Amino acid sequence: MPSLTLEEIWPPFGLRVEAGDLTLSVLREGDVAALVGLVLEGIHDPDDMPFLFPWTRAPREELPANYVRYAGRVLAGQSPESTSLQLVVRRAGEVVGIQALEGEDVPVTRTMETGSWLVRRLHGQGIGTRMRQAVCALAFDHLGIERITSSAYLDNPSSMAVSRAVGYQPNGRRWIAREGEPAEQQSYVLTPGTFRRGEEIRVEGAAALREFLGLGG
Ligand SMILES: CC(C)(COP(=O)(O)OP(=O)(O)OC[C@H]1O[C@@H](n2cnc3c(N)ncnc32)[C@H](O)[C@@H]1OP(=O)(O)O)[C@@H](O)C(=O)NCCC(=O)NCCS
């Protein structure tokens, strides 16, 4: 009986997206130490909270193990009913952040949500826009996704600027309890018609992933 590779057993691990000097691949155990290092170095102003769940607020001594628990849950959790592709972004081989693509019942809704973070020392250089453009091209052109949503608190201008630059359209606002205070969040939706593409992407492993996630051939 021929043995299977891990990528054949678990197709998310076979996905690789290249866009210029950026590469995106699904989070694996071996990436955790580098990612935790970036989070401890800083991924946002400590006075701000860009995330729905304030996971970066955990005490420094608890955050690393929390991240391993989170990584284990998302690693095991991929299914057509609940998909969470946490794509590790590398620039010229160095881990710099995460570009996530997530959704519930995606084979039915054909809708996924983007979310991302990048180590703070590299903010403002266009990397956030490029990684978002790359994941949207993956979703529309290779995974059969028809709509991509995103949301950002109104006090997160860089996230909103990236959404606008990539062609997302405003899609309503809502109030959220953020660390015990009300905070207003802007929702966005992107469809292929308004998508502002970036660099050409090269993709490996999308066909097997698409089948694995119930998204058809
Ligand atoms: C959101 C994030 C991934 C963007 O990455 P980035 O590499 O800094 O983004 P880019 O350099 O591609 O673009 C940033 C845009 O924000 C704009 N911007 C930054 N600060 C701004 C401000 N205070 N007011 C208005 N625009 C601002 C920049 O001008 C740029 O827009 P432009 O390309 O039109 O000039 C990064 O800032 C990050 O990791 N933030 C912390 C985590 C986070 O907020 N995640 C999103 C949660 S919804």
Q: Domains in the chain, ordered, with CATH?
A: 6-212 (3.40.630.30)
Please measure the distance between the N-terminal and C-terminal CA atoms of the chain and give it in whole angstroms.
27
Per-residue pLDDT, 182: 98
The Å distance, Cα 113 to ligand 1 centre, comes to 18
Token pair 């054909």 in the structure block, residue: 110
Q: In this structure, are residues 81 and 105 in contact, taking their beta carbons and an 8 Å threshold? A: yes
Per-residue pLDDT, 1: 72
**Ligand 1: which atom is nearest the Cα of residue 130?**
12
* Full pLDDT tens readout for the chain, 217 residues: 779 999 999 999 999 999 999 999 999 999 999 999 999 999 999 999 999 999 999 999 999 999 999 999 998 889 999 999 999 999 999 999 999 999 999 999 999 999 999 999 999 999 999 999 999 999 999 999 999 999 999 999 999 999 999 999 999 999 999 999 999 999 999 999 999 999 999 999 999 999 999 999 7
Whole-angstrom Cα distance, residue 23 to residue 202?
Answer: 9
Determine if ligand 1 sits within 6 Å of the CB of residue 159: yes
189, two tokens: 């939706």
pTM over 0.85: yes
**Ligand 1: which atom is nearest the Cα of residue 51?**
47
Determine if ligand 1 sits within 6 Å of the CB of residue 32: no
